Amino acid sequence: MFQIVCEPIPDRGVYRLIESVIIEGILIYAPYDWNGASVPAFLWPIIGSPFDPRFMAPSLVHDNTYETGEITRKEADMLFRKLLIHNCVPKDLAETMYRGVRYFGAPFYNQGYFHA
């Protein structure tokens, strides 16, 4: 699993990256706040919470690349799936989460919504 150093910011419902990190060639500078994986609350019992440790690094990279537009949206989504699988998320769940960002992510790409 990818290791990141972060801490919860409970009053804001986000985590803060406290050490800059490079994952798959993507440099993310600390401090950086993000809201974990975009898992609807009603699916938490099935999929896991947005802050499941397996989802943290993939969601960090995904949110950052969506915010910056450093890579295309399709590349960001494909990288998200790859990182999920690398972090021991079963392939079928990684595919489901990938499809979720493909179907619903377009309005958020390159808009700066994620950096809280």
41 found inside a domain: yes
Residue 108 confidence (pLDDT): 80
Q: Which amino acid is at 95?
A: E
pLDDT of the chain, 116 residues: tens digit per residue: 898 999 999 999 999 999 999 999 999 999 999 999 988 889 899 998 999 999 999 999 999 999 999 999 999 999 999 999 999 999 999 999 999 999 988 878 876 554 44
For 30-62, give one letter per residue: b (16+ CB within 10 A) or e: eebbbbbbbbeeeeeeebbebbbebbbbbbbbb
97 found inside a domain: yes
Residue 98 confidence (pLDDT): 96
Cβ burial, residue 27 (10 Å; 0-12/13-18/19+): exposed
Residue 13 is encoded by which pair of tokens? 């419902």
Residue 40 confidence (pLDDT): 87
14 found inside a domain: no
Residue 69 is encoded by which pair of tokens? 């537009």
56 found inside a domain: yes
Q: How far apart, in whole angstroms, are the C-alpha atoms of residue 49 and residue 59?
A: 12
pTM, to two decimals: 0.90
68 found inside a domain: yes
Could you list the residue range(s) of the whole structural domain that residue 63 is in?
Answer: 35-108
42 found inside a domain: yes
20 found inside a domain: no
Q: How many domains does the chain have?
A: 1
Q: How far apart, in whole angstroms, are the C-alpha atoms of residue 64 and residue 67?
A: 5
Q: How far apart, in whole angstroms, are the C-alpha atoms of residue 54 and residue 87?
A: 5
Residue 75 is encoded by which pair of tokens? 């590349």
Task: Give one word for 110, left, alpha or beta, with left for phi > 0 and alpha for psi -120 to 50.
Answer: left
27 found inside a domain: no
Residue 116 confidence (pLDDT): 42
